[in-house]
Amino acid sequence: MRFYVAGIKIKSTLPLFAVSFRSFDSGKEADVHITLSSASCWNLEAEERYLLTNLAVSSLTVSSLTVSSLKKGGWLFEERGSSFGARILATNDYADLIIFEEAPATKESLMRLVCFSLECRFVHERVLPLHAACVEQGGRAVCFTGDSGVGKSTRAQAWIKALGAEFISGDRPAVRLEADGCIACGVPWDGKEQIFRNVERPLHAILEVRRAPFTRLRRLSADQAYRVLVRQCFIPMWDSDTAALAMGNIRRLSCAVPVYRLFCGADPQAALETHRALFERPEEILEELPDMKIREGFTLRKVADEHIVIPTGRNIDKFGGAVVLSEVAAFIFEQLQQPVSREDLLALVLAEFDVDETAAAADLDELLAQLRELELLEY
């Protein structure tokens, strides 16, 4: 049985994926072979073991998975529950996957490991699994990426409602790097809603979503885009060779496709304004600016009516005491948990509080100077 996923040709002895991903072209050599084996997997000697937790490989989120580097070469993927234990053996390049029959796997557990193993192979084929909601509109794809819970899917839904766009993937498209651009692809595993289609479209833009009561697009530099994408793309960190390939692919993606920071709401009007800037009035897109953010190891707590910055971890010994912030300063501190430019930070303050712009800009600069003096900011 053959499947075609994101440009990758898969030959499997099992009917793993939706019929829409079936391929009936038997003339081409497969990139990945998946077979079922009755051999024993218990005598495989591991050289090193890595316990991976809270992995998001689609809706089939893996709570705990063990990857073992084998002495004779290859990788053993295991997921164990109280009543099941799925196991897959992969070659060093993940091109051959062997499913062990003797391991009593549930269908869900088996699919998790298959998808996880295939995403490792994707890296070798210059394909990047991206944590994003992806839609197509007018024959071109747009991806909404960002941290979990920021509203990627709701922004995509707004495009569907306001512009007649269609989902390619609800949570995890694959981006294929090609010589003349990048292609966004639906894959047969996805987020909780299992929203995907076997569709490939040229990737027009990647939007890093930020919540805001206004619509504003700012282009990111290649380095800024890389720092965004490296948090949202799949990287098999236990395998240094494949991880290096993934990082190189991410670097190429950050240079090949425009990446923008999108401040907006989740309403149809925001979708219309974003689409207009991307496709009709690119002059509305703001130029790239340097980012700043709060250094790791500081947290904001509200105690009674006071907002207090408290050091954590190694910073406890280095940082003497705590810092008390006003309500506006606390809001700014929260926004600085993610990289943001000074100009966008000011726009967020003006949208949140009824303050004069000149006074707000002066107060913001004073606060940023204090945070720099306390060595809380990094650029």
Compute the distance between CA of residue 142 and CA of residue 206 in angstroms, rounded to an integer: 6
What's the pTM? 0.90
Pick from 123, 146, 178: which residue ends a domain? 123
Pick from 252, 284, 316: which residue ends a domain? 284
Residue 243 Cα distances to 64, 99, 119, 237, angstroms: 20, 24, 12, 5
Same domain, 62 and 193: no
Mean pLDDT of 150-169: 96
Same domain, 135 and 272: yes
- Counted domains in the chain: 3
| Residue of 51, 19, 364, 75 lying closest to 197 (CA atoms) | 19
Compute the distance between CA of residue 214 and CA of residue 216 in angstroms, rounded to an integer: 6
Pick from 73, 97, 123: which residue ends a domain? 123
| Residue of 127, 165, 373 lying closest to 275 (CA atoms) | 165
| pLDDT confidence of residue 59 | 43
Same domain, 110 and 9: yes
- Under a CB-based contact definition with an 8 Å cutoff, are residues 270 and 278 in contact? no
Q: What percent of the chain has pLDDT over 70?
A: 92
CATH code, domain with 358: 1.10.10
In the block, which residue shows the tokens 């705990």? 64
- Under a CB-based contact definition with an 8 Å cutoff, are residues 3 and 25 in contact? no
Evaluate if residue 81 carries a pLDDT over 70: no
Same domain, 264 and 305: no
Full residue range of the structural domain in which residue 72 is found: 2-123
CATH code, domain with 152: 3.40.50
Same domain, 72 and 200: no
pLDDT per residue as tens digits for the range 237-293: 999 999 999 999 999 999 999 999 999 999 999 999 999 999 999 999 999 999 999
**Among 109-118, 238-247, 274-283, 338-347, whose mean pLDDT is lowest?**
109-118
